[in-house]
Amino acid sequence: MDVEPKDRYLRLQHKLKKFSTNPLPDFLKGTYTEVLSQKIGNELRLLRQEQAEREHSRMIREQQDQAYKISLQKDQEKAKELEKEKEILKQKDQLKKEKLRRKENFKLDRKNLILELKRNQKSEPLLSNTTTKLSLRLPNGERIIRVFDLNDTLQDVLNYVLTLEFVELEWDYYLIRTFPKFEFNDLTLNLKDASLFPNGSLIVEKREFDELLDEELE
């Protein structure tokens, strides 16, 4: 049966104490002392060796525990990164699908709007003091001259533009004044209030729906 180092050390102390309190006759003392000293020395060496081995084993266990903790932490961090990447890819995929869905809806709505505008399109009025002549430069480089009523709004002008053949469903269109150059944001203005009387020039520019959607989703 194994004996703990502490117990063995206490036994050695007991032997030494017993020897000191029960001295042997002189003719036996030298031999017994030599044998006991050798045994005690062997026991002490064995004790130191066992303590060293225990300390070595303890250090190895601590190193192994530390290595395991570090490995576990790295695995957990890697798992978090993978989960984060999966979530980012999932969000990108959802965003892509949402953009595609909204783009298709935009094209369908634009198509229906153009059909409605063409059905209800007013004829061009004659030039008079209640009308104005506008020069429209289209995105394809073509220039169109058309007469509008002064009470027509910028939205009416844009609606007319949407009925033209060059229009593509996936693009949005807006009106730019040539001088001073700026984009009309308030399309409810009538042409007189927009200072497009008795004539005026407008640039029709286009912006892809994806750009509009990116701005909206930012």
d(CA 193, CA 209): 29
Tell me the per-residue pLDDT of 4-54, one tens digit each, with 9 for 90 and over. 555 665 666 565 555 555 555 555 555 656 666 677 777 778 888 888 888
> Which parts of the chain sit beneath pLDDT 50?
1-2
Give the chain's domains with CATH numbers. Answer: 5-69 (no CATH), 121-217 (3.10.20.90)
Rounded alpha-carbon distances, angstroms, from residue 168 to 65, 73, 110, 143, 212: 67, 55, 9, 17, 15
DSSP helix/strand/coil, 123: coil
- Residue 18 neighbours by CB distance under 10 Å: 9
User: Are the C-beta atoms of residues 187 and 152 closer than 8 Å to each other?
Assistant: no
